[in-house]
Amino acid sequence: MTRRATNKTLQILDAAEKGQYGVLAAIAYNVEHITAFVRAAENRNSPLIIQLFPSALTQTPSLVHAAAAAARAASVPISLHLDHAQNYDQIKEIADSLPFDSIMVDMSHYEKEENLERTAALREYCHARGISTEAETGRIEGGEDGIMDTGDLEGILTSPEDVEDFVRAGVDYLAPSVGNLHGDYGPKGPQPDMDRLHGIFKALNGRARLVLHGTNDFSPELSKACIQAGVTKFNVNKLVLDPW
């Protein structure tokens, strides 16, 4: 069977694009989060992507296996994704030894050419092990717990040329920079460039699924507009953690 037919994240997001709906990709920090996420997904009969930060693998090594077991036992489609993996050698070690369905090979802290070179090499390495890959095009401003501090780096919006470059690099999911932020948006709230987002989806032309980071503060109306623009994976963090 092909990787597309067996990889759970690919299956979930291919179905989302075909059905024109979005899927939450939620960061888990402990077993209680994982349990709550799975129960919520089952109660809503909804697919889900459980995400872990690389820092969780050293702070709580058993968490990835607990998440993988919960995903396998769920009555709805759930996959396990490593978010913002930024260490080249660590990504290879993880791909060799841990049960992730997909990995974000985040080389966006490098300049574009090195970003592309490293992304393509890691994509090939992961694909050979049945793992699908996500990459960030441009550079999304802001920072989050668990990832490298990029607050001092200038945000770079994604261009149509970026899309072609990363499609050639062979990634399965593209996370563009369209005015979305990691962290808080401030009093004005999120104001993504919807024309740019539509253009990126058109440029992808079905060759990769579209991901949006920093969607914690998105209203239901804005989320629906993003789905209409082609987004299938919505990364959230504090949205599902604040009530805790």
Q: For residue range 195-241, what is the model confidence (pLDDT) as tens digits?
A: 999 999 999 999 999 999 988 889 999 999 999 999 999 999 876 66
Q: How much of the chain, in percent, has pLDDT values that exceed 70? A: 90
* pLDDT (0 to 100) of residue 80: 99
Which among 83, 101, 162, 172 is annotated as catalytic? Answer: 83
Distance CA 194, CA 180 (A): 11
Is the pLDDT reported for residue 153 higher than 50?
no
Length of the chain: 244
Query: Using CA atoms, how far apart are residues 116 and 213, in angstroms rounded to an integer?
Result: 19
Mark whether 195 is an active-site residue: no
CA distance linking residue 25 with residue 83, whole number of Å:
9
Q: Which residue has the higher pLDDT, 152 or 209?
A: 209
Predicted pLDDT at 163: 94
Give the global pTM. Answer: 0.92
Is 213 assigned a ligand-binding role in the annotation?
A: yes
Work out the percent of the chain whose per-residue pLDDT is above 90.
75
Q: Are residues 193 and 157 in contact, defined by beta-carbon separation less than 8 angstroms? A: yes
What is the distance between the alpha carbons of residues 215 and 236, in angstroms, rounded to a whole number? 6
Give the Cα separation of 159 and 137 in Å (integer): 8
Give the Cα-Cα-Cα angle 226, 11, 33 (nearest 5 degrees): 75
- Is 106 annotated in some ligand binding site? yes
Helices (H) and strands (E) in the chain, counts: 11, 10
Is 136 part of any known ligand binding site? yes
The pLDDT score that the predictor gives to residue 190 is 87
Q: What does the pLDDT look like over 161-206, one tens digit per residue?
A: 889 999 999 999 999 999 888 777 778 888 999 999 999 999 999 9
- What pLDDT score was predicted for residue 148? 55
d(CA 64, CA 228): 33
Spans of all domains in the chain? 3-241
Could you tell me how far CA 51 lies from the centroid of its own chain? Answer: 8
Using the predicted structure, report yes or no on whether residue 142 has a pLDDT greater than 90. Answer: no
Question: What is the rounded average pLDDT for all residues in the chain?
Answer: 91
Confidence tier at 160 by pLDDT (50, 70, 90):
confident
pLDDT in tens, 11-68: 999 999 999 999 999 999 999 999 999 999 999 999 999 999 999 999 999 999 999 9
CATH of 3-241, one of 3.90.280.10, 3.40.50.2000, 3.20.20.70, 3.40.640.10: 3.20.20.70
